Structure 1
Amino acid sequence: MKTLILGGTREARELADIASGERGFEIVSSLAGRVRAPVLPVGEVRVGGFGGAEGLREWLAGNGIEAVVDATHPFAGGITANAAAAAAALGLPVLHVRRPGWLERDGDRWVRVPDLALAAEAAAALGKRVFLTIGRQGVAAFANSEGWFLIRAIDPPEGAVPPQHELLLARGPFSV
């Protein structure tokens, strides 16, 4: 079965390895191209966008894809919606793979916000030292924030950064 895995995550790489090896699926993995030197999965790999749901639908049909697996990063909401729409339009099965979220525990102090702009506002009110691990693309939302930021990303941010920061370039997964 020719399967498109929308990936870029560790889970997507592991799935490509298992599906192509043990299961004999023909796998095409798609990466968004957000990281300069991605860790590549086994099999065929394409990098870059599709041009929305319609572009993805055309690509799926033109490449004989029989199933779609969305194993993208939890922040990648656009491709998840596009994958669901494109697969539905073609009657293809689609599987959404999501890593479990963090669980709130006794003693935690969670502050939920709907977007990065409000996260930047909330961070300023919570303390003077912030560990920011949102990826390089969202860092600019914190550029006018006071306080000190440890910014963990795979690649350096391209836009504005908070005036007081240290950049830690590292690729997960990480142990505690």
Structure 2
Amino acid sequence: MPSVRELRALVQTDVKTFQDQHGPVALIQQPPAPVFQRLAQQMGGARTVFMAHRSRLADRLMAMLQGFEHLQVLFLKPKMDGEVFAVGRLETSSLVVHDPSVSKFHAFIRWSAGDGNCYVRDAGSMNGTFVNAIALGEQEQQLFDGDGLSFGDAQFLYVRAETLHAHLCAAIPSVAR
């Protein structure tokens, strides 16, 4: 699981190579709300951008990529249509999230190659799964570029690889696009 700092070194590749190496989508760990809000304000944003709607994706991504070198990025690299990624605290999970509010088996993320999208479903977790701060309950929900995704208190930003690549390039002025 690379950090933002490590990804900056890899962004020298074109977007297709970046996507082939890492997969079509990523979950970027979000910092705690007070820290993130302070950074956003320092960067000139007076509004709250933490767990905001995906229309503020550029604001959130730039704040995260510029201000938090050590944030972890979880890439989903599906090998087949319908592949399911288990999210939980157990080391055997596809996506391991080390947070006490995350259940051993917390949620499932399913890849749909047909439409190129991911779908998330809670696995009966104790603290719930949320998309843009709305609890999923028992339903499966499609994820969109820029959605805020929470497993208990562990919060992530769901982004497509091409979006992440573009913002990493924008954060490094010398990178040729």
TM-score band w.r.t. shorter chain: under 0.3
- Asked which structure has the greater CA Rg, the reply is 1
Q: Which has the higher contact order (CA 8 A, sep 6+)?
A: 2
Q: Taking structure 1 as the reference length, what is the TM-score of the superposition?
A: 0.19
Q: Taking structure 2 as the reference length, what is the TM-score of the superposition?
A: 0.19
Higher strand share: 2
